[in-house]
A and B are shown apart, each in its own frame.
Chain A
């Protein structure tokens, strides 16, 4: 957990520095009132101070409990699911959000989780039926359609 805390502190230190740098061109005080850079300045200052306290505490700590990290197969499942999710966003304008979401579910159930085909198909049918019924038919939301027009 020590390494994780050090990493978290460094990331937050970088975020705080980034906020300060990206907003320093804005006025801190405008006429008689705080300007748009007022809040970013104090938030980045608070972030930097807290990150430094976390960093120093983690560096001074000797023993630390191990974090709850997945084993190799668990990590592989999480990575495949994350890649699948980003693929949905990238492919949605090309083949439509609902068709790509259907393919994603099948990929996750059959390939990643290695579930039987029939129950997986049933799960996908029920979920997509529910999604179509609620979002398309009831709420009238027009989802991005792909080249196939669905």
Chain B
């Protein structure tokens, strides 16, 4: 406890350095804007802006990128409430009630409760992170190669089973990610694999062209299909005050949303979107006015916004303590660490205390910045929504290409980025999820190396994955995450069959 507080104090020293403060501010402002833009999410924004962090120290770079991640959670609210289009996926539930409130002349209250809820839940989640992450990292120091293989496998399978959409398609896209990661040189024996005689592929396919292509270019191409001339509702500073009754209605929603978000954020693959949906559904059960949900429930907005910000912070725990990203945004953050020459894993907290504790402390500061940006300055950011998206899209595409070039100084990387942009666009159209692919690209090397090291240690015996209690537990979790979607599908079919039979019976009886 005392150690954590001392480390946090040290982290505050790091984060309060003028350069770091400037980059935290830049990160949260960019996150706020990126979150508000309907065509691009925080993961895309982080991937696009990752190349500009090459010129700054690692700790500063990570603080800025994390700022974009949680800043995006605040920014998405603006578009959801004022335009009825979620700025990013995690604000989908906010659009349901937030826009209804705006139509009733309560846009200010919806934005205000979102900002306050996000802030309180964010600060709570950072505090929990500061205490949970070191303990988890210390525990994870006992892990060896079998546990690492199973943990990486769990990261991928859980993404498929917990995430939104079809688990089968998610698993298939994870396999595609693993195929992409196979390209290059074998990590143990050094043989060329799937390079097809191309020397540029010998080093493998870098994470950035994949992430920039799949998230940045694909999302912009998708948004070019239709016009985005939005007409956001106006909001004024004096409308931003919450009444005592509003606060009384929402405080427990914020607490419940924050808790749900934090625990969902810890789970690999679930992320802020699932957290927001789950918190909204939970709040509807607890609310004194469940009938208002869908037609303007302030507590519904408070719960979902608190949950998405809390989940964004909670997702950093497995990333910092284990080196296993649980979402697309934390995968970009992990890639940023690797590109800065830092090895992620349980030793990160002891080897890089400035970076880890600086990051943790920066999130307190970043959340304060965001509260200020979202309370008195919300009308100013709302005015940004009046810029037609068509003017922004070409700029985002050009920055994607330039960023891809900057990572490797080769036009081959730019071509690769475009290739993945086209694939990403087709994936959106085919309803194939992109986060499992990106997560698999990030986790593939750890997964393959640790699997082969384990089998080397055991001389080919698979018993190494069950001998130790920890690895046996992880193995069971992997199996459970694979079985969960199958059980859900079976139950759904049974329910549908039962419903079909009972309706047939009623018809016959009549």
Contacts and interface: CB of A to CB of B under 8 A. Distances in A.
Nearest to B453: A33
Interface string A133-150: 011001101111000000
A40 B194 contact: yes
Nearest to A134: B52
A126 B387 CA distance: 14
Interface string A96-132: 0100010011001100110100011001101110010
Contact of B406 (A53, A74, A120, A135): A135
Q: Chain B interface secondary structure, helix, strand, loop or mixed?
A: helix
B168 A1 contact: no
Contacts of B402: 97, 101, 131, 135, 143
A26 interface: yes
Contact of A57 (B51, B168, B222, B414): B168
B55 A47 contact: no
Contact of A67 (B222, B226, B430, B452): B430
A128 B398 CA distance: 9
B393 A40 contact: no
A8 B432 contact: yes
A95 interface: no
Contact of B398 (A47, A51, A105): A105
Interface string A63-99: 0000111110011011001100110110011000100
Interface string B443-464: 0000010011001100110000
Given A32-B456, A43-B182, A101-B401, A78 B55 contact: no
A115 B391 contact: yes
A46 B153 CA distance: 13
B509 interface: no
B418 A78 contact: no
Contacts of B448: 39
A40 B193 contact: yes
Nearest to A112: B224
A53 B405 contact: no
Contacts, number: 183
A9 B388 CA distance: 38
A7 B172 CA distance: 13
A59 interface: no
Contacts of A33: 188, 452, 455-456, 460
Nearest to B391: A123
B179 A47 contact: yes
B54 interface: yes
Contacts of A105: 394-395, 398
Interface in A20-45: 22-23, 26, 29-30, 32-36, 38-40, 43-44
Nearest to A3: B430
A51 B145 CA distance: 30
A19 B194 contact: yes
A32 B224 contact: no
Interface residues of A, number: 73
A4 B430 contact: yes
B429 A4 contact: yes
Contact of B225 (A34, A43, A74, A82): A74
A102 to B, nearest CB: 8
B452 A7 contact: no
Contacts of A124: 394
Contact of B451 (A30, A34, A36, A54): A34
A67 B428 CA distance: 10
B188 A139 contact: no
B418 A23 contact: no
A35 B191 CA distance: 9
Contacts of A104: 394, 397-398
B81 interface: no
B196 interface: yes
A85 B421 contact: yes
B415 interface: yes
B393 A139 contact: no
Given A22-B194, A70-B225, A85-B421, A131 B451 contact: no
Contacts of A71: 225
B430 A78 contact: no
Contacts of B451: 34, 39
Contacts of A115: 388, 390-391
Contact of A82 (B395, B398, B422): B422
B176 interface: yes
Contact of A143 (B178, B395, B405, B430): B405
Given A39-B451, A43-B179, 17 more contacts: A8-B169, A8-B432, A19-B179, A33-B188, A34-B451, A47-B172, A47-B179, A67-B430, A74-B225, A74-B226, A77-B224, A78-B222, A78-B425, A82-B425, A89-B411, A113-B224, A143-B405
17 contacts: A1-B431, A12-B176, A26-B193, A32-B459, A54-B168, A78-B222, A82-B422, A101-B401, A101-B402, A105-B395, A105-B398, A108-B394, A123-B395, A134-B52, A135-B51, A135-B402, A139-B51
Interface of B: 51-52, 54-55, 168-169, 171-172, 175-176, 178-179, 182, 186, 188-189, 191, 193-194, 196, 217, 220-222, 224-226, 388, 390-391, 393-395, 397-399, 401-402, 405-406, 409, 411, 414-415, 418, 421-422, 425, 429-432, 448, 451-452, 455-456, 459-460
